[in-house]
Amino acid sequence: MTNPNRISGNHGDYDELARRALTNEAPSAEQARWILEGEDVDLLPLLHAAYRPRFEHFGRRVMVHVLNNIQNGLCPEDCGYCSQNKDSDAPIRKYPMKSDDEIFAEAEKAAVAGASRYCMVASGRGPTLERTKRLAELVRGIKQRHGIEVCLSIGLIDDEKAAILGEAGLDRLNHNLNTSESHYARICSTHTYADRVATLAAAKRHGISSCSGLIAGMGETSDDLVEVAFKLRELEVPSIPVNFLIPIEGNQVQEDHSLTPERCLRVLCLMRFVNPTAEIRVAGGREGNLRDLQSLSLYPANSLFVEGYLTTMGDATRDTYRMIADAGFEVDGNSDHPGPFALDADEPDGGFHLPGRGGEILKPEIAR
């Protein structure tokens, strides 16, 4: 008898993956592993299949997010992928929480630039009760000033703190699962996978939407990636950032050399097929790992960050908007600045452009 889940790289199989996703049916475990490891996978048909549920739920719109690292370093946790962890030797500048004025100013800048969401991130195991109340006031203030959604990434929280933030109108709480439960102890020992799941559950109980994703490239297997993809589906997480490890010198966890651009795109496709209605964000590490294939990430993903990440650089807003426009997509914006957003007047949509070279065309050694 023929196995109905058998995978071979013909167009019917890609259509089957798309059909399942369009009816919110997850792929089988065998199909999921094939997406990541199948030697007969053709990348472009796979991307096209992932694009079908992406387009069904989000059209050609791309949500843009801006991170504000409101407190850097000073963290007692040992998450090995993070340059702020207590055991990292990364040469970062540590600073306490920024002033309210600084945070409000950066929120305004993000809103005017057309960001869909402003994400405040504070290092540490989790906020005290007093810090939680201050964060709640910041959330209220930003939402009163700007038509932009607000997300917090502040570590572990319980029901009491979730209730305070929910009452303040927090749109989303980010707390990434990062990897599978079985792999978690290899990247962190100061808290557990279960602690992270409990934080997401507390947020959900108090009306705060969850944002939770993963980091690929930390020595995990394909089965680990499949496991976390299905766990996020089980938790009904509506916003899933897919990070690709940035190998920061001094961190305990370094790149495992698995992240080719194709591997990254396959991971994004997996997340779309398993979580077809979720906002899939191509997040940290997209520039350095996807490289020249960045624009293809917009076929499975509908969301990204601009202006860098917590401690590392990334593409500028202008360069990212150009990439989005060149691929035929448009920035979603926010209620005050809904987009789509044009490039600067001195940089028309069409015409010749050398990334990173400004308006220079001639080689320096021959230019007069």
Segment 199-209 mean pLDDT: 97
Say if 126 falls within a structural domain.
Answer: yes
Q: Which residue type is seen at 180? A: S
Structural domain containing residue 164: 54-331
Rounded distance between C-alpha atoms, residue 106 and residue 141, angstroms: 13
Rounded distance between C-alpha atoms, residue 359 and residue 353, angstroms: 8
Say if 4 falls within a structural domain.
Answer: no
| CATH code assigned at 234 | 3.20.20.70
Is the pLDDT at 319 greater than 70? The verdict is: yes
pTM for the full model? 0.92
Say if 316 falls within a structural domain.
Answer: yes
Counted domains in the chain: 1
Say if 34 falls within a structural domain.
Answer: no
Rounded distance between C-alpha atoms, residue 242 and residue 214, angstroms: 5
Say if 283 falls within a structural domain.
Answer: yes
Q: Which residue type is seen at 96? A: P
More confident residue, 363 or 99: 99
Extract the tokens encoding 269. 């496709």
Segment 28-50 mean pLDDT: 96
pLDDT for res 354 = 74
pLDDT tens figures, 177-192: 999 999 999 999 999 9
Segment 273-302 mean pLDDT: 97
Q: What percent of the chain has pLDDT over 70?
A: 93
Structural contact between residues 310 and 248, judged by C-beta atoms closer than 8 angstroms: no
Tokens 């969301």 belong to 303
Say if 151 falls within a structural domain.
Answer: yes
Is the pLDDT at 347 greater than 80? The verdict is: no
Say if 35 falls within a structural domain.
Answer: no
pLDDT tens figures, 206-231: 999 999 999 999 999 999 999 999 99
Q: What percent of the chain has pLDDT over 90?
A: 87
Rounded distance between C-alpha atoms, residue 120 and residue 335, angstroms: 19
Is the pLDDT at 10 greater than 90? The verdict is: no
Say if 320 falls within a structural domain.
Answer: yes
pLDDT band at 6 (very low <50, low <70, confident <90, very high): very low
pLDDT tens figures, 66-124: 999 999 999 999 999 999 999 999 999 999 999 999 999 999 999 999 999 999 999 99
Please enumerate in sequence order all residues whose Cβ is within 8 A of that of 176, keeping only pairs 6 or more positions apart, or say none: 196, 212, 213, 214, 215, 241, 243
Rounded distance between C-alpha atoms, residue 89 and residue 123, angstroms: 16
